[in-house]
Structure 1
Amino acid sequence: MPAPKNLFKQALVARNRQIGLWLNMAEALPAEIAGQTGFDWLVIDGEHGPNDLRSILAQLQALATSPSEAVVRPPIGETWVIKQLLDIGARTLLVPMVDSPEQARELVSAVRYPPEGKRGLGAAVARASAFSTIADYADTAADEICLLVQAETRMAIDNIEAIAAIEGVDGIFIGPADLSADMGYRGRIEAPEVQEVIEKAIRRIVAAGKPAGILTFNEELNRRYLDLGATFVAVGADVTEFSTALRSLAGRYGRGSAEARGPASY
């Protein structure tokens, strides 16, 4: 029996739009709830969310029956981190801060077993192989692993075509916050100078034959990126949506933030 099909990876190859959400709460229950809301992909964020290996595992388990693809973002693209994430069942990775084709090539090696790569062969005791019940896992895993790399600096943008040319890179995701900071526009992703770079980068990724992705909390920008040809676009985060919804609910009863309303009185 081969590794289960990665329908998200197939959708990227077919250039079918995939709308995603960031999971930063680092808890299984919010992840499970998000998994039933209709998003195509959900990012378990190990870079800016308070996650560790066990909390990521719990969220993967919570999303096991969800139609949404669980995408795991490690804190850094190190081989040992990637090995652990793959063994606990992550099959789509979003790796931050990939600036060069050399880095991308190393990541491809990290997600593949020898002789094609250097992933440690521990599938026999791993959740990824359903604890050895997927007999052909080691031979078929590479076909279903989806490797997405983040372009978040001017160097990465300069190297877009070279990164896209690396076989085994399944998509390039633009990180607008870090990119804007690297360009000298920290916190101003809407700046025309930043948007010009982002829009050109999306076109270049698409022209190079790879799916392009991005995340913003701005619906107008997200729709613009989709129109430009971006395939996988994340449109929000659980933390911000939860906070906004609760503030709205409190506001409907005349309640502001704790700082604004002062000590509670009943």
Structure 2
Amino acid sequence: MSRFSAAALTVVLTCITLQAYAQTTASADPYSNNADAGKTQFPLAALAGKDSGAITTAPPAAINQGPFDPAKWKYGPAYDISPDTPIWNPVMIKMIKGDKITGGTVFSTDTPETYCAMANAGYDFIWTEMQHNARDWDAVGRMWKACPHAKAVPGVRVAYTDEREIQHAMDLGALVIVIPTVRSVEEGTAARDWTMYPPLGKRSLGGGQAFDPLVWGNVPGGYRNTINKNVVLVEMIETLEGVKDARAIAAIPGVTAIFAASGDLANFSGYKMGSPDYERLINIVHDAALGAGKRLCGPFAWRDRPDFTCFQSASEIVAIGRGVGDELGPLKDTQGKPTAGPYAPKK
């Protein structure tokens, strides 16, 4: 093959690759139709240069008549789904059944290879740590995109109750959202609002990786229409103020589970696990979950504690160490012991 023909073939293959990429990502780009000028008609548009009076008067066929009032707005059917559309998130299916659910923690890595190894290790979801880690959302997106349909679905603990943080997570394809340090019903409601689309929440329709056909773009019923019923929202009770409002937080529509935070409830209370004051706090959270009919989460060490069905497991560092120990058995840590050099015992 000549140099020219090889170069031409490279150009053709590149064009085909780019075209295929554009086709698979078009639905993930909310602005892909903005170039269609001249193709859209506007039969109900205001007349040029004239006030339409729409603030007080609706078109005759409109459902919402009378002066415009957001508080009285009747939400439309644009995103209705068939009642027989199945739940497609495996974690939500187990949540509904009350089965025990495990989340493997990805704490330190930002490499897709390590993430995918954890995601295929046997957990139900991956708890991607963003509260106590300095990685950015680009790194998270690369990890999740590398194996979106791994055994464990992508999940994340965001930094705090924040529109930007939660919508970044959702737009990248999170199916489990964990909200830390929820101190009040107002914070819990805000977390729900940024997680869910209207009418239940206030999430903006901004496209993103979640809409990619290689991620959730081809799910039954469509991603936008069904994600409110599929995303698992876990709100963490970690402070004394959160414990006080635990019943109201658990009762928020859209919250799937509440998490009794073992470490921070000790941190904020001054009492260690097992002490009467500490256990009282955990039991208040327990009672709140049961009273609201929601699932109750905690550390994996509590997998045999009554009524706990959702657990955060160890980090990838611990999991690797334990896995190697299981694999090597008595051969673990039987390295040779030189008397000289960097591996020699320190004197």
Instruction: Summarize the Cα distance change of 1:3–1:145 in structure 2 as closer, same or farther, 3 Å threshold.
Output: farther
Tell me, yes or no, if structure 1 residue 211 matches structure 2 residue 295. Answer: yes
Q: Provide the C-alpha distance between the structure 1 equivalents of 2:269 and 2:341, rounded to a whole number of angstroms.
A: 40
Partner of residue 13 from structure 1, selected from 96, 100, 105: 96
Tell me, yes or no, if structure 1 residue 69 matches structure 2 residue 69. Answer: no
Partner of residue 121 from structure 2, selected from 37, 55, 62: 37
CA contact (8 A) 1:23 1:31 kept: yes
Q: What whole-Å deviation, never above 9, does each CA across 1:131-156 have from its counterpart, x for those lacking one?
A: 69548332222122221111111111
Instruction: Summarize the Cα distance change of 1:262–1:214 in structure 2 as closer, same or farther, 3 Å threshold.
Output: farther
The residue that corresponds to 1:129 in the other structure is: 211
The residue that corresponds to 1:224 in the other structure is: 304
Structure 1 stretch displaced more, 190-199 or 161-170: 190-199
Would you say how many aligned residue pairs link Structure 1 and Structure 2?
251
CA contact (8 A) 1:206 1:230 kept: no
TM-score normalised to the size of structure 2? Answer: 0.64
Q: What whole-Å deviation, never above 9, does each CA across 1:84-108 have from its counterpart, x for those lacking one?
A: 1111111220011111111111111
Tell me, yes or no, if structure 1 residue 147 matches structure 2 residue 227. Answer: no
The residue that corresponds to 2:106 in the other structure is: 23
Q: What whole-Å deviation, never above 9, does each CA across 1:15-63 have from its counterpart, x for those lacking one?
A: 1111222111233222211122211222011112332101211221234
CA contact (8 A) 1:3 1:136 kept: no
Q: Provide the C-alpha distance between the structure 1 equivalents of 2:201 and 2:140, rounded to a whole number of angstroms.
A: 24
Instruction: Summarize the Cα distance change of 1:206–1:69 in structure 2 as closer, same or farther, 3 Å threshold.
Output: farther
Q: Provide the C-alpha distance between the structure 2 equivalents of 1:93 and 1:47, rounded to a whole number of angstroms.
A: 12
Shift of 1:243: 5.1
The residue that corresponds to 1:182 in the other structure is: 268
Partner of residue 190 from structure 2, selected from 80, 92, 106: 106
Structure 2, unpaired ranges of 5+:
1-80
Shift of 1:190: 4.6
Identity between Structure 1 and Structure 2 (%): 22
Amino acid at match of 1:223: R
Tell me, yes or no, if structure 1 residue 161 matches structure 2 residue 247. Answer: yes
CA contact (8 A) 1:20 1:39 kept: yes
Q: Provide the C-alpha distance between the structure 2 equivalents of 1:174 and 1:191, rounded to a whole number of angstroms.
A: 15
- SS of the aligned residue for 1:43 comes to strand
Amino acid at match of 1:180: A
- SS of the aligned residue for 1:167 comes to coil
Q: Which of the two has higher C-alpha Rg?
A: 2
CA RMSD after TM alignment: 3.0
Q: What whole-Å deviation, never above 9, does each CA across 1:70-89 have from its counterpart, x for those lacking one?
A: 21111112011111111111
Q: Provide the C-alpha distance between the structure 1 equivalents of 2:117 and 2:217, rounded to a whole number of angstroms.
A: 28
Query: Hey, which bits of structure 1, 4+ residues long, moved more than 3 A?
Result: 1-4, 131-136, 188-193, 241-251, 261-266
Partner of residue 174 from structure 2, selected from 76, 90, 99: 90
Amino acid at match of 1:208: A
- SS of the aligned residue for 2:242 comes to helix
TM-score normalised to the size of structure 1? Answer: 0.82
- SS of the aligned residue for 2:304 comes to helix
